[in-house]
Amino acid sequence: MKNALPQELQDEIGRAGVIAVLEIEDEKNAVPAAKALLEGGITAIELALRTPASVPSIGLIAGQVPQMFIGIGTVIEPGQAAMLKKQAGVKFAVSPGINAQIVREALEAGLPFAPGIATPSDIELAISLGCKTLKFFPAEGMGGLDFLKNINAPYNHLGLKYIPLGGISPENLADYAKFPAVLAVGGSWIANKELQKAQDWKEISKRAKAAKETWESIRGKA
Ligand code: 3PG
């Protein structure tokens, strides 16, 4: 079975382990936030396309923090996949839900894509569109790890991989890491909007380090 997200990218996301969601309100915070994450050992971001500052921030991070593995989130509008494919440094994209048109556009543009799923029907739509790496969203809102284990069971033989987001925290991260079908986890708590606004780069690094250490305590160092 093919995958809308090539194996080498899946491996790279798995090595990163923890993905920091960045919703950037002021583009001047993009580079310091990315540097603070790297300082704490977080090497992958999901930069959410939810603010006017998001697209300019992609170029800033790609240009000034080239070690950062850049994923783009909240890809929900026609035309965004083609636009992102042209942005230097964008490695993959995700969406909160699954929209066949958006997935097809990503495939046509050659943009590695992991759609969001929250039900067995979503998973089957994803499979039919050629997606094997899936964002599980909103993870905790849907019932957390138990729910994920239940919906994955009929598809376990297909080797689907999940990136849970939505309510992931320092308290539940280790449990998610223990489930082999989890490729990586992500969340906004590491570099949330309040920390960016306060320019509290030390706290972002601290949270990044703690999250990465928790992940590695289960999965080992990549
Ligand atoms: C996302 O875009 O994936 C979510 O905003 C992440 O959820 P969280 O804010 O609960 O971490």
Between the CA of 117 and the centroid of ligand 1 the distance, in Å, is 14
Q: What is the pTM of this model?
A: 0.97
**Segment 158-206, tens digit of pLDDT:** 999 999 999 999 999 999 999 999 999 999 999 999 999 999 999 999 9
Instruction: Name the active-site residue from 91, 135, 161, 212.
Output: 135
Give catalytic status of residue 135 as yes or no.
yes
* Ligand 1 atom at shortest distance from the alpha carbon of 138: 7
Mean of the pLDDT values across residues 133-153? 98
CB-ligand 1 contact for 71 (6 Å cutoff) = no
* Ligand 1 atom at shortest distance from the alpha carbon of 73: 2
Give catalytic status of residue 193 as yes or no.
no
**Segment 129-138, tens digit of pLDDT:** 999 999 999 9
Cβ-based burial of 112 (10 A; exposed 0-12, middle 13-18, buried ≥19): buried
Q: Give the integer Cα–Cα distance in Å for 220 and 69.
A: 20
| Averaged confidence pLDDT in the chain | 97
Q: Could you tell me if 44 and 69 are in contact, meaning their C-beta atoms sit under 8 angstroms apart? A: yes
Q: Could you tell me if 46 and 165 are in contact, meaning their C-beta atoms sit under 8 angstroms apart? A: yes
